[in-house]
A and B are shown apart, each in its own frame.
Chain A
């Protein structure tokens, strides 16, 4: 039986982890390679890096991080943030990323998704959608949640599936950083209208939120950052909890 995946996400800026785990035995809390290794040793099903480097001159730092991580972690590695072009995707894959997530560029030009999935295969193209509720609908935001495009998120998700995305990473901008749990309605609506796996993101504050993402949201995978970053729970604890709730996980 296919297991539900738990994906810890690390925010990386200028090659350093922004909100790292505070473990006493950690040599360098800002080293993304060491953090990723802790996660994969702890049973993470995948590792996700979100590059939030703002300045262009430091953009290349992520490539070194990916290179070093892929030599030490032997679980899938997804990298996103600032991916603009086929060339960016090619570079990340060559450095050892297994999947690349595309956000703003996919909204601006769906052809990037069409072309990249043809060139590299759908299996490595994840489309990340940042959505925020406006009245009764969810709208797509870009540029790290700063710009409202007014595009209907559910329709956009369907369009991305048709364009060749292999997976969808859905983040609720209303919930992100709140620790109030995923936007289950959003996750469930997109999961039930598309036929590709969905990764739920944004808002996890406790382990029941992960359970809800899978049971109620029908997500294939659940992504979380801060609950793991700050050592509130380990990936192992999260898996054991999900298992105790009858959710199929790899233990």
Chain B
């Protein structure tokens, strides 16, 4: 099996690479690239993303043909894709960080700033928070409800169709922390930084 971590200059992806290599050992081939041919021939794709929604979308669009190739992979060919943090957020139609920016439009919805309740809650939402699993998901195999995951973000994905939400977390509001639609998987938290339970989620994705 070949899993590609998309390297499109979206910030720091070394932790994502390290965690996938740790889980994969020598059993699965982990490739880090933005090469379109290699992406197309992959069995699974991981789409990381750090920084702002706009900076990630811009970086993605800077690689000629990348958005189309990902679209072909995930939407036409329905192969498994995992978006992490802004990688998940980009599934949306539109994001409002920095300026209004069009997303990939894979799961209809928007990405807005977390309501800090007039400064009562600090942003970014940084640290370990519990996930409330609201829908059975293959990537949550062997993950107990209310497990802790590591978050760091100021914006949240708000899908139109709530049935895609697979878990939420409580902060200032009830924040969507993972979504799943057919072959599309996304986590707002960072499995690569969520210790053993995060590695379990990565293993679950690899084993899909």
Residues of A within 8 A of B (CB): 1-5, 40, 45, 70-71, 74-76, 93-98, 119-124, 166-167, 195-197, 220-221, 250
Contacts and interface: CB of A to CB of B under 8 A. Distances in A.
A2 B114 CA distance: 14
- Interface size class on chain B is 35 or more
B148 A120 contact: no
10 contacts: A2-B127, A3-B127, A93-B11, A93-B12, A120-B11, A120-B12, A123-B126, A166-B124, A197-B124, A220-B127
Contacts of A96: 14-15, 18
B59 to A, nearest CB: 11
Interface stretch (B61-69, B136-144, B188-196): B188-196
Contact of B119 (A94, A123, A195): A195
A177 B97 CA distance: 41
Shortest 3 CB-CB contacts between residues of A and residues of B: A121-B51, A93-B12, A250-B128
B1 to A, nearest CB: 21
A76 B170 contact: no
Nearest to A166: B124
B22 interface: yes
A3 B119 CA distance: 18
Interface of B (DSSP majority class): mixed
A74 B199 contact: yes
Nearest to A251: B148
Contact of B127 (A45, A71, A120, A121): A45
Contacts of B108: none
B130 A71 contact: no
Nearest to B196: A74
A1 B125 CA distance: 11
Interface of A (DSSP majority class): loop
A200 to B, nearest CB: 14
Interface of B: 11-12, 14-15, 18-19, 21-22, 50-52, 55, 116, 119, 122-130, 148, 150-154, 170-171, 192-196, 198-199
Contacts of A74: 15, 18-19, 22, 192-196, 198-199
A250 to B, nearest CB: 4
Contacts of A120: 11-12, 50-51
Nearest to A96: B14
Contact of A250 (B148, B152, B154, B198): B148
A197 B125 CA distance: 8
Contact of A1 (B130, B153, B154): B130
A197 B193 contact: no
A95 B18 CA distance: 10
Contacts of B51: 119-121, 123
